Chain A
Amino acid sequence: MEKTVRLNADQREDLVAYLDGELPDEEVQQIDHIIARSEVARHEVEALARTWEMLDVLPSAKASDDFASKTMTNLKVMEAPFILEDQWWYPYLRRAGVICGWLLCLGLSGWLGFQITRHWVPNPHDELLKDLPVIENLDQYQDVREIEFLNLLKQSSVFDDLQEK
């Protein structure tokens, strides 16, 4: 391998795995061979190793002192059974429920009272509605005058011929 030849993507990948000790022995030997012969590879390995070491300066975070206790408290709250009476909004809900209940009772009483009392006062229109079929045909009934006349007409068979036609 020439000293100035640049490494391809696969070889670069292997270099990183080589540094991480993640390559099988056979491939490690191949990389060792490449590094021994290529200055570029040596430079790459060195640069990769040193930039990796530079990450050591990254700070480690520390959770706040009360993190564990806060977490456990939140878990307890999360796991606590839901008790309606313990909710802050329960008194408001209860008051609203009582008001709604009274309004409903009031409405029902009014409706029931109306249903009962409406039959106490006769409606003049009921009589007219009952006689509506007669009223609608009143002119015809007046033309007929008497029922006996209609019976005589039926018995006379005057209209039988017309029906046959």
Chain B
Amino acid sequence: MVLTTPPPANVDESGFLHDPEVQLMLRVKQGDDEAFTTLVKTYQDRLATIFFHMTQNQEAAEDLAQDVFMRIYRARNGYQPTARFSTWLFRIANNLAINSHRNKARRKEVPLPAGETTSVSGVRPESQALADKSALMPTRQIDKHELQLVVQKAIEQLNERQRLTVLLHKFEGMSYSEIAETMEMTVPAVKSILSRARDTLRTALEPYMQMGK
């Protein structure tokens, strides 16, 4: 588990000092809790989005997001600006997501019955049947809500690493090198993972492409 700041990148360290979030983090290091509140507010929705699409559970997503902030706060005294703040934050998020997935697999969680969990968009698990129905009838007209479910289901087909890579690229707009640094991989590995993930998504979503227009 990464608790310390990321290792120095090839970029000159001073370059990161221009990152306003690095400046905020340096203030946190000096004991400025207001600065940390600002960082929490800046990233809370972004982290919640990533974790929600990883876990499909709003509550779990918020817990994981909070855990990320806890770890950052605990590591504040040893903070060194050796990378963009977001890279460090999402690296911790990546490690947490992996650990959470491992723990979940170990516990072999039994999903709650329909109606006991809700998603961000108010989508309930019973809507899964709707997505399945849509999958059986790809030629009929599909509305945005159904399309959302179909895309969610397609995302679920990706493995953890592919999913996070796709989410970081899509939602965070990270470049391959930024994803590589965040997920501690090489750029060719990111390229390969994204390619396979996009291929899986294409196979799953191609029948709905016309309808989703």
Contact = CB atoms under 8 A, between A and B. Distances in A.
A78 to B, nearest CB: 7
Given A58-B148, A61-B58, A50 B209 contact: yes
Contact of A62 (B69, B120, B194): B120
A82 B39 CA distance: 27
A70 B65 CA distance: 12
A67 B62 contact: yes
Interface in A55-105: 55, 57-64, 67-68, 70-72, 74-75, 78-79
Interface residues of A, number: 31
Q: Which of A51, A52, A74 has the most CB of B within 10 A?
A: A51
Nearest to A76: B33
B144 to A, nearest CB: 6
Contacts of A22: 175-176, 191
A34 B148 CA distance: 33
Given A12-B199, A62-B120, A75 B65 contact: no
Interface stretch (A13-21, A116-124, A126-134, A152-160): A13-21
A77 B170 CA distance: 36
Q: B interface, how many residues as a size bin? A: 35 or more
A15 B49 CA distance: 27
Interface string A8-52: 000011011100101000000000000000000000000110111
B195 A16 contact: yes
Interface in B30-67: 33, 36-37, 40-41, 44-45, 47-49, 51-53, 58, 61-62, 65-66
A62 B61 CA distance: 10
Contacts of A60: 45, 49, 120, 171
Contacts of A5: none
A54 interface: yes
B22 interface: no
Contacts of A68: 37, 40-41, 44
A74 B37 CA distance: 12
Interface stretch (B4-12, B129-137, B200-208): B200-208
Contact of B152 (A20, A51, A58): A58
B29 interface: no
Contacts of A52: 170, 198, 201
Nearest to A46: B209
A63 B65 contact: yes
Contacts of A17: 176, 191, 194-195
A71 B198 contact: no
Interface of B: 33, 36-37, 40-41, 44-45, 47-49, 51-53, 58, 61-62, 65-66, 69-70, 73-74, 119-121, 144, 147-148, 151-152, 155, 166, 169-171, 175-176, 191-192, 194-195, 198-199, 201-202, 205-206, 208-209, 212
The 5 A-B residue pairs whose C-beta atoms are closest, nearest first, are A61-B52, A59-B121, A63-B44, A61-B48, A13-B195
